[in-house]
Amino acid sequence: IMPTLAELAGVSVPPRCANDQMSANSSSCTEGASLASAVLTQELHGASFTAGWGDRPSQGGGGKSAAFSQWGFKKVAGVSRMGYNLYTHIQDTRGVASQVRYTEWVTYRSNSGKVPHGPEWQDDLTGIVELYNRTGDLNENANIATAPGMQGLVKELSNQLHAGWRAVRPPL
């Protein structure tokens, strides 16, 4: 919300936090993106605003190609794990686009003082991944992560999830 408020107030927007450590220890950086142009457009024209991931009309233009979130802890394969999610669009070999949710259930590393808290990513994804085609399965009833032909897509989505939200942010 900070970039939106700063832009609407006519003051300079604080720089984007370069990493999680900076985000945790700095009061002069932001992780947000300004939606001022959307607010102003709606205010000036009375139109409703609904933005998709690829059409965010904000300062700097462009949009992000994915959204990230986390689930709380649950027991997976007998271990308490946290779910890390990636929501994005993919195209099949016929060019048909689908919205997907990809989740990895991983051990969460608590802050020990020396090592920052966060996920402990794993190379072996057996039994800890979920992949749903939300376009064809809105209620997410069929986990297709282990379906034939999905191994390459799962690896690609895993790499994108591990790279994090900063890797899909448009430049300011």
Q: Using one digit for the tens of pLDDT, what is the confidence trace for 12-63?
A: 887 777 776 666 666 677 777 777 776 676 544 444 433 333 333 333 345 5
Q: Give the Cα separation of 28 and 23 in Å (integer).
A: 9
| 125/131: higher pLDDT | 131
- Which of 9, 35, 63 terminates a domain? The answer is 63
What residues have CB less than 8 Å from 53, skipping those under 6 apart?
A: 63, 64, 65, 66, 67, 87, 88, 89
Same domain as 38, residue 17: yes
Same domain as 53, residue 78: no
Residue 66 pLDDT class (50, 70, 90 cuts): confident
Same domain as 127, residue 47: no
Same domain as 106, residue 42: no
- Which of 47, 63, 79 terminates a domain? The answer is 63
Same domain as 132, residue 153: yes
CB atoms within 10 A of CB 119: 19
Give the pLDDT score at 53: 37
How far CA 35 is from CA of 49, 83, 169, in Å, comes to 11, 28, 14
Domain count, the chain: 2
Query: Which residue do the tokens 């895993």 mark?
Result: 158
Indicate whether 101 pLDDT > 80: yes
- Stretch 59-81: mean pLDDT, rounded? 75
Same domain as 4, residue 49: yes
Q: What is the mean pLDDT of the chain?
A: 77
Residue 157: domain span: 66-168
Please answer whether residues 87 and 101 qualify as being in contact, where contact means their C-beta atoms are separated by less than 8 angstroms.
Answer: yes
0.85 exceeded by pTM: no
* Phi, psi (degrees; rounded to nearest 5) at 116: -65, 150
Same domain as 43, residue 71: no
Same domain as 18, residue 78: no
Give the pLDDT score at 36: 76
Same domain as 89, residue 30: no
Q: Give the Cα separation of 102 and 39 in Å (integer).
A: 31
Same domain as 90, residue 8: no
